[in-house]
Amino acid sequence: MQEKINLFTKLLDSVHCVGTVDEAVSAVLKKLLFCPFCDEYFIESASLLDHIKKDHPDRLSSKTIKVEMHEVEDDAETVYICPHCRFAVDNNSSSPTSAIINHIENHTGSIDPTARISFQISRDKELIQTYINGKMEIDLFCCSVCTDIFGDAESLLRHLYYKHSDADSKNIPYETINLIRDCAKDFPTQKKAKVKYKLKYPF
């Protein structure tokens, strides 16, 4: 408990331009990262990710599925493959690279919009035949909060952080809000007393 009070006090110290307790509370909430699966919260993304790995490993497990969505036809010579879900288009497409990039952008939007886009190009006859025969299988990681799918646990983790850890995406327990409120009780006056006039140009 004291640990949390210290954390909130530290965060309150770093917020600026708030006039009311409510504003102070929402400013603190904005700085917190909430676990999508329990009532824990953190300020460092690494701590949140460690917590999910340690306490909710079942949420990061994969399942094997058949790749049913692809555009690989019988006469395919080259395939362009999505690294996340193994969706593939072949050289028959009018622009296979833009087709695969458009597809991959749907994934990166929900993992990390700044992520670099990469895909696999293959002329492997056996691999192409696996698609044509409908035998392509993959271990997929599904988000248990929404329905997005990922090719590896790291991407799913990043997605949980980017999409499901902010205060808006969760019902914050009443006790947490109350505790922050308590810490912010005399916040506006406290803040005024703390204003320091720093010299910007020391000459």
| Interaction site with Zn ion (CB under 5 A) | 35, 37-38, 40, 82, 84-85, 87, 143, 145-146, 148
For the chain, what percentages of helix, strand and coil (3-state, to nearest 5) are there? Answer: 50, 15, 40
User: Can you tell me whether residue 155 is helix, strand or coil?
Assistant: helix
User: Nearest CA to 43 among 194, 152, 184, 180?
Assistant: 180
Question: How far apart are CB 142 and Zn ion at their closest, in Å?
Answer: 9
Nearer to Zn ion (CB atom), residue 76 or residue 143:
143
Nearer to Zn ion (CB atom), residue 103 or residue 191:
103
Question: How far apart are CB 183 and Zn ion at their closest, in Å?
Answer: 22
Question: How far apart are CB 157 and Zn ion at their closest, in Å?
Answer: 11
Nearer to Zn ion (CB atom), residue 38 or residue 117:
38
185: phi then psi, degrees, rounded to nearest 5: -45, -55
Nearer to Zn ion (CB atom), residue 87 or residue 141:
87
Indicate the residue type of 102: N
Name the DSSP letter for residue 133.
T
Contacts of 77 (CB under 8 A, 6+ apart): 90, 91, 123, 128
Angle formed at CA 83 by CA 82 and CA 84, multiple of 5 degrees: 90
Nearer to Zn ion (CB atom), residue 58 or residue 126:
58
Question: How far apart are CB 160 and Zn ion at their closest, in Å?
Answer: 7
**With the C-alpha atoms ordered 52, 56, 58, 59, is the resulting torsion angle positive or negative?**
negative
Question: How far apart are CB 180 and Zn ion at their closest, in Å?
Answer: 19
